[in-house]
Chain A
Amino acid sequence: DADVTQTPRNRITKTGKRIMLECSQTKGHDRMYWYRQDPGLGLRLIYYSFDVKDINKGEISDGYSVSRQAQAKFSLSLESAIPNQTALYFCATSDSGGNYNEQFFGPGTRLTVL
């Protein structure tokens, strides 16, 4: 079984709809991240969380919100989706030990906003 899972894997929605992307992990990590990937732009950080009570904005948080329901779950919401939020979204996790912790990525969610 995958250590970091994302649901759904693919989603097509319409402008103005509310969308939630979910991430779960079985690695026991306390840190979780949401990124979006766009062609030619690489990955950009949306939000990150160091534990259940800690939520931080990344470089492109506008139009997004997150919820850390438990150590193992971190959800990303688009309150009112718009077409330029069409992208591939990745969840990642890492532990808190050391200074160069590896981040483990989920398989991604491909979101299309029409």
Chain B
Amino acid sequence: GNSVTQMEGPVTLSEEAFLTINCTYTATGYPSLFWYVQYPGEGLQLLLKATKADDKGSNKGFEATYRKETTSFHLEKGSVQVSDSAVYFCALRLYGGATNKLIFGTGTLLAVQP
């Protein structure tokens, strides 16, 4: 079946540290991949996306590269800030599907300390 696996949190970092949150997927077909972010008390917001192999999504200093050979879409940021503290969800959507259904990972809580 189709699924997304994320590293378990919480991830606790000091400000300006390097961030990696691992995400791997299993999918039949050719998925589009997404990272969503959920700030405290809010709904999810799209952070970045990639629609085909080797694409790199980027936004707000975050990056993720679609790696078909390793079925991965790891999220990275070179220097995190306290304001990046949130829950991060990796998700996939199957290309060409009629439903636009997203399959989410379990989420990874990031806590950045000053």
Contacts and interface: CB of A to CB of B under 8 A. Distances in A.
Given A45-B101, A107-B42, 12 more contacts: A40-B106, A42-B106, A42-B107, A43-B44, A43-B102, A58-B101, A90-B43, A99-B51, A100-B49, A102-B49, A105-B43, A107-B41
B99 interface: yes
B43 A107 contact: yes
Contact of B93 (A56, A90, A100): A100
A31 B4 CA distance: 23
B99 A48 contact: yes
Nearest to B43: A105
A90 B43 CA distance: 7
A100 B101 contact: no
A56 B100 CA distance: 12
Interface residues of A, number: 23
A102 B46 contact: yes
Nearest to B101: A45
Indicate the size class of the contact surface on chain B.
20 to 34
A101 interface: yes
Interface SS of chain B: loop
B45 interface: yes
Top 3 nearest A-B pairs (CB, nearest first) are: A105-B43, A42-B104, A100-B32
Contacts of B43: 4, 90, 92, 105-108
A31 B96 CA distance: 16
B18 interface: no
30 contacts: A4-B43, A40-B106, A42-B89, A42-B107, A43-B89, A43-B102, A43-B104, A45-B101, A45-B102, A48-B99, A58-B101, A90-B43, A92-B43, A94-B100, A99-B32, A99-B96, A100-B32, A100-B49, A100-B93, A100-B95, A102-B46, A102-B49, A103-B44, A103-B100, A103-B102, A105-B45, A106-B43, A107-B41, A107-B43, A108-B43
A31 B89 contact: no
Contacts of B46: 102-103
